[in-house]
Structure 1
């Protein structure tokens, strides 16, 4: 089974110059925590999460009405998979990188959807595999002190 068979298609993006208030409203309306940030032609340029908004902006006293998404979005390498990849490959990536969602790109590197841990659990028949992925995602990356 390929990623495109179980992903959520037509995932929404936020633009880098939109405000954090715009991003927060979109997150609320879509009932999501992370939003892909897309520039021209749906090219992925980053991700922003509800946590990014709080930790990188609100906690520093920045105004969400004027602070842009670009100023608070994650700048680390974006973790993604391709729509024609096998679901098991996507699950392995989620396990190894300890993420609950992956942006899905086509081979032209344009965003076409998102695949989540929930998609793996509800759309595949391998419930044991989904449990393994969840277990590994929830493992602390570093020992707690």
Structure 2
């Protein structure tokens, strides 16, 4: 997992979140209140959902973020993490510790680099599978 994770606060603006994403070359960022994970915001949340609903660059992140975030624990088995990624069809998951504090992000790339490849293949198969039609609601 990547441990040095940049976050945005829920009271920051969509413009600030987008600037962080541009600087970090990231498509999503955790939203934290102190060291507690409270949501995730993606470039898609800002550009598709936000713009479609008439939100501007000064909209608070809290109005655009997803607050029901699937996480994994820092002590979870890699195969279980891969299964969760595949079922949820996501390429990245926040990692929290036993105190519910954000301690990293695990990605498909991490699984691919740090394992024999099987967990990454399992997750990728799930992420790539045709799923239900997504509805951009939040």
TM above 0.5: yes
Shift of 1:140: 1.8
* Number of residue pairs matched by the alignment: 134
* Structure 1 gap ranges (5+): 1-6
Shift of 1:138: 1.1
- Bigger relative contact order (CA 8 A; separation at least 6): 1
What does 1:119-130 align with in structure 2 at a 5 Å threshold?
A: 119-125=110-116, 127-130=117-120
Distance 1:128 1:44 in 2: 29
Shift of 1:51: 0.1
Tell me the TM-score normalized by structure 1: 0.86
SS of the counterpart of 1:28? helix
Distance 1:36 1:96 in 2: 20
**Which of 1 and 2 has greater Rg?**
1
SS of the counterpart of 1:62? coil
RMSD: 1.6
CA contact (8 A) 2:83 2:122 kept: no
* Structure 2 gap ranges (5+): 134-138
Query: Counterpart of 2:38?
Result: 45
